Amino acid sequence: MHSALRLVGVGLTYWVLGTGAYAHQPPLTPNEMAAMMKGCDLIKTPNQKALCMGAVKKLKSNSDAENVGSVQKPSLTSIPLSFRGILIGVPKQRAALESLCLETAKRKEYCYEINPDQDKHLVDVQFGNIHVPLLDTRVGADGAINFIKGYGRNDELIQLASLLTEKFGEPKKELSTAHTRIGVAYEKLTYSWMDEKGNVLVVETRSVNVDSGSFMFASAAEMGKKTGEAAAVREALKGKL
């Protein structure tokens, strides 16, 4: 069940569900936006206040898009997802992964010890604008690259998302509120793409801590598993892709 927060200001009433805004209302005017922000400032509970602020920002984003006549583009891309030229979820890509590993591996034989469905760590890999010290990868029995994950600073990931948008088209974007262990609220951005085969790419700021996040490729086969990191991502993105 979703929690609901009611914002009232200058005769305006909006409902906020979960961490996002249910914004099917007409575009907000500047006065309406100011009234809602004032309503958020009156909330005493820190978590609810942060939730309110995040929701209002979402409403503003939706309103700005509607005011300029734009529409939300789908996250589905007709371009097959790939990492450094290696197609995701396509059989017989193991040799390409080995070649990528050999670029920086100090012990070359390590790159040929790739076992199906076991994590393989590549070091010092460049992806777009990000230098990744340690890259997690996983291949299937058919040689398909089913999982890739790397980490970076928030500013690097936002720039990476921009580069990936040029390649794969507009992603689905989400601004949500997360909390530290001591309850401090902060906002994080999630960019997600899905290709026609069901392979997924996710770039997320602040998924590790307040200063850093991650990017992840997962094949359709990996996303279909009941357990594992990709399965958790599938549940988090359910209804959003």
How high is the pLDDT of residue 183?
81
pLDDT digits (tens, 9 = 90+) for 58-110: 655 654 544 443 333 436 899 999 999 999 999 999 999 999 999 999 999 99
204 touches 156 (CB < 8 A):
no
Q: What is the pLDDT of residues 144-196, one digit of tens each?
A: 999 999 999 999 999 999 999 999 999 999 998 877 788 888 889 999 999 99
By the 8 A CB rule, do 149 and 165 touch?
Answer: no
**pLDDT at position 62:** 53
User: Is the pLDDT confidence value at 213 over 60?
Assistant: yes
The residue assigned the tokens 């992840």 is: 216
- Kindly report the backbone phi and psi dihedral angles of residue 167, in degrees, each rounded to the nearest multiple of 5, phi listed first: -90, -45
Sign of CA dihedral 64, 20, 178, 146: negative
User: What residues are paired with 5 via a beta bridge?
Assistant: 16
Structure tokens that stand for 217 in this block:
């490729």
According to DSSP, residue 28 is labeled P
pLDDT beyond 60 at 37: yes
